[in-house]
Amino acid sequence: MDPLLHQLPSAFWTVPYVGSRFPGAPEVADLPSLEEGANCQLFACEVLRHFSLVPPDLRSSELWADTQATVRVSVAQPLDLVLFNATDDAYGAHVGVWVSEGRVLHLCAEIGRPVVWEMTEFAKRHRYQVLIGIKRVVNRPQDAVG
């Protein structure tokens, strides 16, 4: 298992997929716990927060457009956000966290819980077939991944 994944508390692995619980949603502000579930992006943001990063509470298209809290990069590093969709449109994109070479941790609606997939698994599925790109949170502590 990837070193980064070993650092995640066991509670992260039991988070149920709940599409209505996204960054900025009223019920998330009132009840931020992942125990109530999350969508892919809220889950990814909470993973980053666990490692002391501060991702913006933006929807996927806003996240892709953001230039203040994140930057676009061409080569992924651990804890970068990876966006996928059926097209190159960032609206409604699926968001995961890069954990190691070609491996992405994400909260998968198809499975209903967090999983780690190789990039080839995303390419096999129409809804994830397009890699929109990679975003890096700007405030990256040097020792974020231990």
Give me the pLDDT at residue 32, please.
60
The model's pTM: 0.90
Query: Per-residue pLDDT for the chain (146 aa), expressed as one digit of tens each?
Result: 688 899 999 999 999 999 888 787 776 666 567 888 999 999 999 999 999 999 998 899 999 999 999 999 999 999 999 999 999 999 999 999 999 999 999 999 999 999 999 999 999 999 999 999 999 999 765 545 54
Q: Give the domains, in start order, of the chain with CATH numbers.
A: 7-137 (3.90.1720.10)
Structural tokens at position 25: 């949603």
Where is 114: in which H helix or E strand?
strand 113-118
Q: Sheet of 103-108: strands edge to edge?
A: 70-73, 130-137, 81-85, 94-100, 103-108, 113-118
Give me the pLDDT at residue 116, please.
97
List b or e across 41-77, with b for residues whose CB sees 16 or more CB atoms inside 10 angstroms.
bbbbbbbbeebebebbbbbbbebbebeebbeeeeebe
List beta partners, residue 27: none
Query: Which amino acid is located at 73 in the chain?
Result: V
